[in-house]
Structure 1
Amino acid sequence: MNIRRAVQADLPKLLEIYNYEVVNGVATFDTEPLTLKERQAWFDAHNVGNHPLIVAEADGVPAGYATLSTFNSKAAYDSTVELSIYVAPECRGRHVGRELMGAIIALAKEDPRTHRVVSIITGTNEASIALHKKFGFRYAGTITEAGFKKGRYLDVGYWELAV
């Protein structure tokens, strides 16, 4: 597995990975698949400042990706970033998420502009919660019934890591 910065040519596969979760899961609260045009703005907001976008590549194809994104648009929050990791369904269970987590946290620690990494995790996402615990994230609280998807209200937990 090769971990590297995302390039424009990766965007269609990254969108496919994300849209799979939109349609089939609850890790994102988007409810309708995004288009390439819609996802382009997201792509362009990464690999600038303290917002890296990295890809885990297996056999020359993105198997998953990780980002550090704007946590809140107010300037005082600039040193806090939101972590997201998505893994292609066919690559789950192969430690792609763990490799991406290690690499994105290393980038956060190397960047003096980043002080805190925050993840917002759906309460039912046991695998993500376990991964965050393994990397030393601290549980910071829950917003109950924060979103409605797949016919039910879902809680979200906030997890943080000081870097």
Structure 2
Amino acid sequence: MSQCTEILLVRAACLSDIEEIARIYAYYVTNTTVTFETVPPSIEEMKRRFDDVVAAGAPYLVAVEDDRILGYAYAAPFKPRAAYARTVEHSVYLASDAAGRGIGRRLLEELVVASRDRGFTEMIATVAGDGNHASLRLHARCGFVPAGILRNVGFKHDRWLDVTLLQRSLRGAE
């Protein structure tokens, strides 16, 4: 008897995905220092953020297995000034029980391709918090290089935290 294997699908996010995306993100806001938000955004706020990404022509992806969203990733304009129009900053978040399966890497790799295909030329990662070694390793595996450290710029869970900046050029990326 053969065993069924679930297939992970990475697809464009839809507005109907936002409630699950908000639930995934709320875990990180409440329990970790990988985001500097201190109060989980409402579903309405997450919808507004989704609309902003889509309006900017940037990709917003979800990883789905057995009709369950296991993670999401998006690229958003780095800064609002015109000179930054081809540079995006991105985020990748996984359901708390989905780590260690390669889902984050798959999302980030597909986000890089989707961003390049939409004409973006540089991608920035801002890795927040302390002890976020998994994110630093993920970015290194996906071709990001260190661009600097902003020391003690965030205060969360009663301590000062750094942000590590990483960058990947999308020019000529495959």
TM-score range, shorter chain: over 0.9
Task: Name 2:116's counterpart in structure 1.
Answer: 109
What is the identity, as a one-letter code, of the residue corresponding to 2:121?
Answer: H
The answer to whether the aligner puts 1:39 opposite 2:51 as a matched pair is no
1:87 aligns with 2:94: yes
Q: Hey, what's the Cα distance between the residues in 1 that align with 2:62 and 2:40?
A: 20
Identity percentage over the alignment?
33
- Output aligned runs, 1:59-138, within 5 Å: 59-112=66-119, 114-122=120-128, 123-138=130-145
Amino acid at match of 1:145: N
| Cα distance in structure 2, aligned partners of 1:20 and 1:63 | 13
1:91-128 residue CA offsets vs partner (Å, 9 max, x unmatched) = 1111110110111011122222x010000002531000
Instruction: Confirm or deny: 8 A CA contact 1:137 1:159 kept in the other structure.
Output: yes
1:143 to 132, 145, 150: 150
Q: Which consecutive residues of structure 1, in runs of 5 or more, have no partner in the other structure?
A: none
5+ unaligned residues in a row in structure 2: which ranges? 1-7
Secondary structure, counterpart of 2:63 in structure 1:
strand
1:61 is displaced (CA, Å) by 1.2
User: Does the residue aligned with 1:102 lie in a helix, a strand or coil?
Assistant: helix
Q: C-alpha distance in 2, partners of 1:46/1:111?
A: 12
**Bigger Cα Rg:** 2
**Distance in structure 2 (CA, Å) of the matches to 1:91 and 1:29:** 22
Contact conserved, 2:146 with 2:164, CA < 8 A, in 1? yes
